[in-house]
Structure 1
Amino acid sequence: MAADPAPPAPARPARGQSAPGGARIDRPIVLVGLMGVGKSTVGRRLAQRLGLPFVDADDEIVAAAGMPITEIFERYGEPYFRDGERRVIARLIDGTPKVIATGGGAFMNAATRALILDKAIAIWLDADVDTLVARVKRRETRPLLKGRDPRAVLTALAAERNPVYALAPIRIRSNASPHQQTVRAILKALNA
């Protein structure tokens, strides 16, 4: 008796092929923005809509280091983590179309930022501090918030980082609405 054939794999756009809505995706899409803005959640959903692979740079750093990010910060400090982050993102931006969610500080590194702006489609997910505070309170794994007031930290980070995130050619507001609305806004911007 013959085995049933495997179900067909989901259609994925070939390099340079038009994705849903007509966007031509010929390189990685990189999501940047503050912690809690939804880069990972939105990234997964965006990748699914586009039929592209999704990669979370933080997950790749954890896999490469063999320890959680909080432990990397505690043992080796933030500069060590940022160097590893830079190397991982450089490896991920290999010209292959995919969606990459970065950590909140990744785009602050000049070399990483230049690589993203040159070799990828950079999208800044932006949200107000109230939205970010509500989201980050759901997870206890953010080393920059450990033992600190999330509102104060996020307000300071926004003041420092938002002018740099603004270098991304696409800016999408992420608010308290469902992440699917953010995905739709990204698809619209990609098709513009």
Structure 2
Amino acid sequence: MPTSADPAIPVIDRTIALVGLMGVGKSTVGRRLARRLDRPFVDADLEIEAAAGMTVSDIFARLGEPEFRAGEARVIRRLLDGPAHVLATGGGAMLNAGTRDLLKQQAVTVWLRADLDVVTARVARRDTRPLLRGRDPLATLQALAEARYPIYATADVTVDVGAGSHAQAVDAVLAALIRWTTRGEAEATE
């Protein structure tokens, strides 16, 4: 069983999988969280790109969303079969029932939740999001939230990350994970 030199950092021997809408900060918070936990960080989208030999945008454009989701499921399965790490999943990863079940069985899932206005401001800065191309970002995110929030709500831990700094988000995730481990894997909400 892994141990932690810092008693404020929870000891969790499974992958910690960050879930939530695009732009909520899964990759940035995940990198910082991994450093704090002294474990590897993996971005599922980057792993998908490496496996496919093309960008997520190209996969969507050339092969379509269903093929992207199938590849995403295969990559996440492979990642979860490896050593424990911090995993930033794509915003739609939890939509696949098989992937969702696998994440629930082999990882601690953490839903990073933020106000849609904050997320919209973040995603509007870049046009690399295939689901937002040519669409109103806020309206699209509202529709995605309506469909996905009930699924994200099945995560082991929910953390409201808001408009604060990434360091504050990491602290909030760690605090929620401490509560989760203390409660014997009961639901923790920050």
- For normalisation by structure 1, the TM-score amounts to 0.90
Residue in structure 2 matching 1:114, options 85, 101, 117: 101
Q: Which residue of 2 aligns with 1:188?
A: 175
What is the 5 A alignment of 1:161-176? Answer: 161-176=148-163
Cα separation, 1, equivalents of 2:5 and 2:70: 33
What is the 5 A alignment of 1:1-192? Answer: 15-18=1-4, 20=6, 21-94=8-81, 96-192=83-179
SS of 1:181's partner is helix
Cα separation, 2, equivalents of 1:50 and 1:169: 18
SS of 2:126's partner is coil
**Displacement after TM superposition at 1:117 (Å):** 0.5
- Structure number with bigger Rg: 1
**Displacement after TM superposition at 1:16 (Å):** 2.5
**Displacement after TM superposition at 1:18 (Å):** 2.9
**Displacement after TM superposition at 1:51 (Å):** 0.4
Q: Which runs of 5+ in 2 are unaligned?
A: 180-190
**Displacement after TM superposition at 1:95 (Å):** 5.2
**Displacement after TM superposition at 1:19 (Å):** 6.0
Cα separation, 1, equivalents of 2:67 and 2:140: 21
Which amino acid in 2 is paired with 1:38? G
Cα separation, 2, equivalents of 1:146 and 1:98: 32
Residue by residue over 1:74-118, the C-alpha shift from the partner in whole angstroms, topping out at 9 and shown as x without a partner, is 111000000000000000002522100000000111000000011
Residue by residue over 1:117-171, the C-alpha shift from the partner in whole angstroms, topping out at 9 and shown as x without a partner, is 1110000000111011001012111000011110110000000000000000100
- For normalisation by structure 2, the TM-score amounts to 0.91
Larger mean Cα displacement after TM superposition, 34-43 or 17-26: 17-26
Which amino acid in 2 is paired with 1:64? A
Which amino acid in 2 is paired with 1:18? S
Moved over 2 A (4+): none
**Displacement after TM superposition at 1:189 (Å):** 1.2
Q: Which runs of 5+ in 1 are unaligned?
A: 1-14
Which amino acid in 1 is paired with 2:4? S
Cα separation, 1, equivalents of 2:13 and 2:140: 36
Residue by residue over 1:17-73, the C-alpha shift from the partner in whole angstroms, topping out at 9 and shown as x without a partner, is 236314112010000000000000000000001100000000000001111111100
Q: Is the 8 A contact 1:126 1:171 kept in 2?
A: yes
